[in-house]
Amino acid sequence: MDEKKYAKLEQEISPKIPLMKNILKAFLTGGIICLVAQFVALFYMTYFDFTERTASNPTVATMIFFSMLLTGFGLYKKIGQFGGAGSAVPITGFGNAVISAAIEHKSEGYVLGVGSNMFKLAGSVILFGVFSAFVVALIKTILVKLGVVSW
């Protein structure tokens, strides 16, 4: 069988992917997660006298906590099955990934299982975040010292 016939056969027997439906579900899932985060930020601004700028850190921490809690109860997996990338892209996907690895390796013990495996993904993300922040701060410092920008 040549390549053209094989490609045609593969296209005929492969299930059709509902692309627009998946995109819409991902958009709605990510949007709802972001809407919840906006309500959390408004909560911090209203009841704890945070500004819009200072409410971002506790909001991120709260959303990660929520996703970890939902993962522990098995609910975030259902959200992910429905929303696909819409549940993986926001910061809640990070929390889900960390706790999922910890739960998956719980049988290997708390130190060698949970402790070492939950930071496989998180470690690289945190390292990249810290390194990126260092590079941006270094560039900002150089630009300020040269007088190109002022902060």
3-state secondary structure of 130: helix
Q: Which domain holds residue 110?
A: 3-117
Given a cut of 70, the residues of the chain with pLDDT beneath it are: 121
Summarised one tens digit per residue, pLDDT across range 7-40 is 888 888 888 889 999 999 999 999 999 999 999 9
Q: Are residues 94 and 141 in the same domain?
A: no
Residue with tokens 């259902």: 78
Q: Are residues 28 and 85 in the same domain?
A: yes
What CA–CA distance (Å, rounded) separates 66 from 49?
A: 22
DSSP 8-state code for residue 16: P
Instruction: Give me the number of domains the chain comprises.
Output: 2
Q: Are residues 88 and 132 in the same domain?
A: no
Stated pTM of the model:
0.71
pLDDT of residue 52: 92
Distance of CA 127 to the CA centre of its chain: 15
Of the candidates 66, 71, 62, 68, which has an alpha carbon nearest to the alpha carbon of residue 43?
62
